[in-house]
Structure 1
Amino acid sequence: MGQVQSSTRNDSVSKSAAKTDNNNTVTKLYEHQLLKRCEHIHFDVEAWYKILQCQTFYTEFIPISPSIAQAFVNYYQTRYNSKKLLNLNDLELIQSIQYQLKQQIFNSKTNRFQINGSFIRLSSRSPKDGNPLNSQALIQLYHQELNRLQAKYLNECDSIEGKANMELIAYCYAQFHCLKVANEFEALNLILTSERIFIDLLRALDCQQVQNNKDINTNNIKLHDCGTNKKDG
């Protein structure tokens, strides 16, 4: 009987040690990611915009809180990864961003952006892989540009390489122009359907959780030390 209890206790200790090691590994991983991210902070648009605003496009900023980031992640997980995480609160947060986009960026009375569209991005990440709200726009723009190129450079179509080159140029043109948005619905759709942004937000939230846990542990240690000192006194 004693041997069984000892074995059970040892198994419990082993599992606890394994869990601790795993948590430490995850923490170190996210700390490494945070350090790498810190190296690129100076390249984020919000870091250099005030310095170069006279030399670049006019830009407006809308802050994204961790709760809104989580709502974006939950939307992507629900829509593309078959995980039913999206809830009513998430929808309300997403709608709040939609409203901010409308009021701050696409308000016809205060709109300082170009009539032919605006580009949207999250800090250093643009939703290049996001789906345009008009799913046919990419195809239409592609054929439109390809026809223009073929009419302008007739001899380029004679070779396989030349034809492939024009097709690639036309595709890049179409993709670039599909990133231009004219209203809050198009902007939000690019953000919510971008895997690049989803992964960035997922990592950011994980790093935030690790940091929160470290803060909690630090506070617990301080409280423990305080309680010990009082007892000693």
Structure 2
Amino acid sequence: MNIYKVRLSVSLPWAITLFAGAWIFIFVGASFLFTDKTWFGKEGILWLFAVGAVPGLVVALAQFGLSWVEFNEISRIKRLAVKGVLRTRDDPAYYGKCIEKAERHIVFVGGTGRRFFQDFADVNYPTDEKKKLITALERGVHVKILVPTETHLSDKQLEGIRSAKQRCDELRRTFPRQFEAKVFDHPASYALVWIDHEVIVGPVFANMESKNTPVIHLASHNALAESYIANFEYEWHNAKPFTST
């Protein structure tokens, strides 16, 4: 065996400890070899080490205190199960990564669903970049779409909802056991994408383009996420079919 190709794996805490220990050993040895002062004498070796160590300890304690505050804040955020905040919903790449990891279900609730299908179920797109929803259906993921009826949409949204309905009909015919779409009889008040244990949710404002509204990314066990999931399940139970098949 060639010893020059042997690799040693040392964890960072041990590497820091060994490095610090080596330098302490070197300086202690140098103190004995290159000084005539005694260990406990006036302004001796112990006094020199204390003078050097105390400022360092003060700085280290201050740094530790700041790190502890930061650690507590990070821990609090982790307990809230907040994974991120997006300034807008217009980020297909962000949603696409979650869809790619889906194993059980994908739920969409929103205004029309037109952009959702354009971004993730465009069969005419030359690459798989905009076919992630179709790919998810092909691997057995269940998909549910929930949108409002046409009576609760603006004239500008009508074209979008009709385009979405056509796409839903196509997906329902292709994946009859995995794809479902329904409508509720009131205006949409929030936009929701629920993928397995991930929930991305945000408000729907009547005077603002939906893609420009902010959203928050939560784990599904977050209290806020659970309230939206419960609302979706209630709406879904009372909704009517959206597809013609």
Please tell me the TM-score bracket, short chain as reference. under 0.3
Q: Which has the higher strand share?
A: 2
Normalised by the size of structure 2, how large is the TM-score? 0.25
Q: Which has the larger share of helix?
A: 1
Q: TM-score, normalised by structure 1?
A: 0.26
